[in-house]
A = this chain, B = another copy of it.
Amino acid sequence: MCWRDLPGSRKGNADVAPPAFSLGELAQRFRLELRGAADRTVSGVATLAKAEAHQLGFLANPRYRRELARTRAGVLVLHPDELPHWAGDALLARDPYAAFARIAALFEASEPLACGVHPSAVIAADAQVDPQAAIGPQVTIGARSRVLRGARIGPGCVIGEDCVVGEDCELVARVCLVKGVRLGARVRIHPGAVLGADGFGLAMHEGRWIKVPQLGGVVVGEDCEIGANTTIDRGALEDTVLEEDVRLDNQIQIGHNAVIGAHTAMAGCVAVAGSARIGRNCLIGGGAGITGHIEITDRVIVQAKSFVTRSITEPGTYGSAVPAREARAWTRTLARLNRLGEKTPR
Please report the C-alpha to C-alpha distance between residue A303 and residue B328 in the assembled complex, in whole angstroms.
12
A319 within 8 A of B: yes
A192 within 8 A of B: yes
Q: Chain B interface: which of A34-42, A82-90, A120-128?
A: A120-128
A21 within 8 A of B: no
Q: Given the known A-B contacts A155-B158, A229-B194, are A104 and B215 also in contact in the complex, defined by CB atoms under 8 Å?
A: yes
A18 within 8 A of B: no
In the complex formed, the residue of B with least CB distance to A55 is B237
In the complex formed, the residue of B with least CB distance to A302 is B324
B200 adjacent to A268 (CB under 8 Å) = yes
List of B residues within 8 angstroms of A249 by Cβ: 200, 253
List of B residues within 8 angstroms of A201 by Cβ: 101
B-contacting residues, A90-148, CB 8 Å: 95, 97-98, 100-102, 104-105, 107-109, 118, 120, 122-126, 136-138, 140, 142-143
Q: Find A194's partner among B190, B267, B319, B340 (CB 8 Å cutoff).
A: B190
Interface size class of A (residues with CB under 8 A): 35 or more
A332 adjacent to B322 (CB under 8 Å) = no
A19 within 8 A of B: no
B215 adjacent to A107 (CB under 8 Å) = yes
Instruction: Name the prevailing secondary structure of the A interface residues.
Output: loop
Could you tell me the distance in whole angstroms from the C-beta of A305 to the nearest C-beta in chain B?
5
Please report the C-alpha to C-alpha distance between residue A21 and residue B100 in the assembled complex, in whole angstroms.
61
A320 within 8 A of B: yes
List of B residues within 8 angstroms of A253 by Cβ: 249-251, 268-269, 286
B-contacting residues, A253-291, CB 8 Å: 253, 255, 263, 265, 267-269, 271, 273, 286-287, 289, 291
B178 adjacent to A176 (CB under 8 Å) = no
List of B residues within 8 angstroms of A334 by Cβ: 322-323
List of B residues within 8 angstroms of A331 by Cβ: 319
List of B residues within 8 angstroms of A5 by Cβ: 124-126, 142-143
List of B residues within 8 angstroms of A320 by Cβ: 322-325, 330
Q: Find A304's partner among B205, B237, B307 (CB 8 Å cutoff).
A: B307
Please report the C-alpha to C-alpha distance between residue A287 and residue B305 in the assembled complex, in whole angstroms.
10
A80 within 8 A of B: no
A238 within 8 A of B: yes
B6 adjacent to A210 (CB under 8 Å) = no
Q: Given the known A-B contacts A120-B120, A309-B324, are A174 and B158 also in contact in the complex, defined by CB atoms under 8 Å?
A: yes
A53 within 8 A of B: no
List of B residues within 8 angstroms of A263 by Cβ: 207-209
- Pairs A-B, 6 closest by C-beta atoms: A333-B341, A98-B205, A317-B327, A98-B203, A140-B155, A336-B340
